[in-house]
């Protein structure tokens, strides 16, 4: 027993003008008299009219929706502070333009096929790619669909295929490494993210840029962005380099784990060991001691990601990837 919705005809009748004029008034066509515009506005308010997207879609060949493709196993995704910010920004900015956000997962093969069917079916105007891995077959497939696509954070090895907005991971890592050196730390180690993610690779590269020959394999340990991963890696580093006096950790969450292990094993932070994080996520200011870290302008990255996508959809031709500078946030741990 669904109520019948008012159509553009009802609005036309109520406002005493024709369908065409109502449509023009609603879509901001300049050739509408002030009187007609007012009448239409009143009639819309009166009838509670809302445009029928399906009908519009049918003729404009646009859907008014964008699909966010999550290609990471989701447990990890939700540990990622990036994602939370992005989701909020995306829903806001897209909603402002009356574009709706459709979520799809692309974990296994079946998922991917569904995504491709959806895309090929023309059900979306654009694609928002989240944390795709370098080897992800989805990237190529999406490329083939010819739909506007952007990524939030670069996709390792596909930087030229899909435009993106990202923080400058490499320079951010350099900032932290330089700071640790300036503080007189001599045995600086690092815990990285997974090496098939830009955050893993580029932050390590930045670290090596500054440490040079001191960045031996011995002082590098790989983590997986989780708190437990940070704990594991910290244990391994302490076993291998018992006299380390600094550790640059590739994410705040892992750094929180590292802090716990350091305390557990009797190191005092920052006196014995300096700890640097990355992200400036909420967890950074809730640890003891509070984390010195590298701030990523996540809001701006997210904003820019959406802006790029909308620009592509509007047909502005090819767009350039954008990276944003990071900044050092000095608290207590280093």
Partner DNA sequence: AACCGATCTGTGAACGTGCACAGTAGCGGA
Partner DNA sequence: TCCGCTACTGTGCACGTTCACAGATCGGTT
DSSP per-residue string spanning 17-50: S-HHHHHHHHTT-S---HHHHHHHHHHHHHHT--
H or E segment to which residue 253 belongs: helix 252-264
**What does the DSSP 8-state code read for residue 327?**
E
Where do we find the tokens 């027993």? 1
> Are 189 and 242 within 8 A, CB to CB?
no
- String marking each residue 103-142 x if it binds its own copies according to CB under 8 A: xxx-----x--x--xx-xxxx-------------------
Q: Which of residues 228-247 bind its own copies (CB under 8 A)?
A: 228, 231
Task: Take residue 14 and report the two structure tokens written for it.
Answer: 């109520």
Residue span binding its own copies (CB under 8 A) among the ranges 128-136, 153-161, 180-188, 282-290: 282-290
Report the nearest approach of DNA to the CB of residue 94 (Å).
Answer: 18
Report the nearest approach of its own copies to the CB of residue 90 (Å).
Answer: 8
Among 92, 97, 218, 265, binds its own copies (CB under 8 A): 92
> If contact means CB under 5 to 8 A according to the sort of partner, which of DNA, its own copies, none does residue 103 touch?
its own copies
> Are 80 and 48 within 8 A, CB to CB?
no
Q: Which of residues 156-175 bind its own copies (CB under 8 A)?
A: none
How far does the chain reach from its first CA to its final CA, in angstroms? 65
Angle at 213 (CA atoms; ends 210, 216), nearest 5 degrees: 105
Total number of residues shown for the chain: 334
H or E segment to which residue 247 belongs: strand 246-249
Instruction: Give me the residues that bind DNA (CB under 7 A), please.
Output: 4-5, 7-9, 17-21, 23-24, 26-27, 30-36, 49, 51-52, 55-56, 58-60
CA distance 312 to 225: 32
CA of residue 212 relative to chain centroid, distance: 31
Q: Does 83 bind its own copies (CB under 8 A)?
A: yes
CA distance 186 to 183: 9
Give the residue among 182, 181, 331 at the shortest CA–CA distance from 270: 331
Q: Does 290 bind its own copies (CB under 8 A)?
A: no
Q: Does 16 bind its own copies (CB under 8 A)?
A: no
> If contact means CB under 5 to 8 A according to the sort of partner, which of its own copies, DNA, none does residue 104 touch?
its own copies
Residue span binding its own copies (CB under 8 A) among the ranges 17-25, 73-81, 187-195, 217-225: 73-81
Report the nearest approach of its own copies to the CB of residue 83 (Å).
Answer: 8
> If contact means CB under 5 to 8 A according to the sort of partner, which of DNA, its own copies, none does residue 118 touch?
its own copies
H or E segment to which residue 130 belongs: strand 126-130
> If contact means CB under 5 to 8 A according to the sort of partner, which of its own copies, DNA, none does residue 112 touch?
none
315: left (phi over 0), alpha (psi -120 to 50) or beta: left
CA distance 313 to 317: 9
In this complex, which beta carbon is closest to DNA, that of residue 44 or of residue 167? 44
Q: Does 286 bind its own copies (CB under 8 A)?
A: yes
Report the nearest approach of DNA to the CB of residue 17 (Å).
Answer: 4
In this complex, which beta carbon is closest to DNA, that of residue 44 or of residue 176? 44
99: left (phi over 0), alpha (psi -120 to 50) or beta: beta
Q: Does 55 bind its own copies (CB under 8 A)?
A: yes
Report the nearest approach of its own copies to the CB of residue 96 (Å).
Answer: 9
Q: Does 102 bind its own copies (CB under 8 A)?
A: yes
Q: Given the rule CB under 8 A, which residues bind its own copies? A: 2-3, 5, 48, 50-55, 57-58, 61, 63, 65, 68, 70, 74-75, 77-78, 83-84, 87-88, 91-92, 95, 100-105, 111, 114, 117-118, 120-123, 146, 227-228, 231, 260, 264, 282-283, 286, 288
């Amino acid at each position: 027993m669904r109520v019948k919705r008012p159509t553009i005809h009802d609005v036309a009748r109520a406002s005493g003008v024709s369908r065409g004029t109502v449509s023009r008034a609603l879509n901001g066509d300049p050739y509408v008299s002030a009187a007609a515009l007012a009448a239409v506005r009143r009639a819309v308010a009166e009838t509670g009219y809302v445009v029928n997207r399906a009908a519009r879609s049918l003729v404009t060949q646009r859907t008014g929706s964008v699909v966010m493709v999550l290609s990471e196993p989701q447990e990890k995704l939700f540990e990622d502070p990036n994602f939370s910010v992005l989701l909020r920004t995306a829903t806001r900015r897209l909603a402002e333009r009356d574009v709706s956000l459709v979520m799809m997962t692309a974990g296994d093969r079946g998922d991917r096929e569904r995504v491709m069917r959806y895309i090929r079916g023309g059900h979306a105007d654009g694609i928002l790619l989240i944390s795709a891995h370098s080897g992800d077959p989805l990237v190529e497939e999406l490329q083939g669909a010819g739909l506007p696509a952007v990524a939030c954070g670069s996709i390792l090895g596909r930087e030229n295929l899909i435009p993106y907005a990202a923080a400058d991971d490499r320079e951010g890592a350099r900032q932290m490494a330089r700071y640790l050196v300036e503080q007189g730390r001599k045995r600086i180690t690092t815990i990285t993210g997974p090496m098939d993610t830009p955050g893993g690779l580029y932050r390590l590269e930045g670290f090596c840029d500054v440490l040079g020959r001191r960045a031996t394999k011995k002082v590098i340990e790989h983590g997986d962005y989780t708190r437990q991963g940070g704990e594991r890696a910290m244990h391994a580093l302490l076993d291998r380099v018992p006299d380390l006096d600094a550790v640059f950790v590739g994410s705040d969450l892992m750094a929180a784990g590292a802090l716990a292990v350091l305390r557990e094993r009797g190191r005092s932070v920052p006196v014995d060991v300096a700890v640097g994080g990355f992200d400036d996520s909420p967890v950074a200011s809730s640890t003891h001691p509070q984390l010195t870290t590298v701030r990523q302008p996540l809001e701006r990255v997210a904003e820019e990601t959406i802006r790029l996508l909308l620009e592509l959809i509007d047909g502005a031709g090819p767009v350039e990837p954008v990276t944003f500078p990071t900044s050092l946030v000095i608290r207590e741990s280093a």
